Amino acid sequence: EVQLVESGGGLVQPGRSLRLSCAASGFTFDDYAMHWVRQAPGKGLEWVSGISWNSGSIGYADSVKGRFTISRDNAKNSLYLQMNSLRAEDTALYYCAKDKSGEGLGAFDIWGQGTMVTVSS
Partner 1 sequence: AIRITQSPSSLSASTGDRVTITCRASQGISSYLAWYQQKPGKAPKLLIYAASTLQSGVPSRFSGSGSGTDFTLTISCLQSEDFATYYCQQYYSYPQGFGGGTKVEIK
Q: How far is the CB of 121 from partner 1 (least distance, A)?
A: 28
| Residue 47: CB minimum distance to partner 1, A | 4
The residues of the shown chain that bind partner 1, judged by CB under 8 A, are 35, 37, 44-47, 50, 57, 59-62, 95, 99-100, 104-109, 111-114
Nearer to partner 1 among residue 90 and residue 99 (C-beta): 99
- Residue 62 beta carbon to partner 1: minimum distance, rounded to whole angstroms: 6
Least distance CB 9 / partner 1 (angstroms): 15
Which residue's CB is nearer to partner 1, number 1 or number 13? Answer: 1
Q: Which is nearer to partner 1, 75 or 107 (CB)?
A: 107
Q: Any residues with CB less than 8 A from the CB of 60 and at least 6 apart, and which?
A: 48, 49, 68, 70
Beta strands in the chain (DSSP E): 3-7, 10-12, 18-25, 34-39, 45-51, 58-60, 68-73, 78-83, 92-99, 108-111, 115-119
What whole-number distance in Å separates Cα of residue 10 and Cα of residue 50? 22
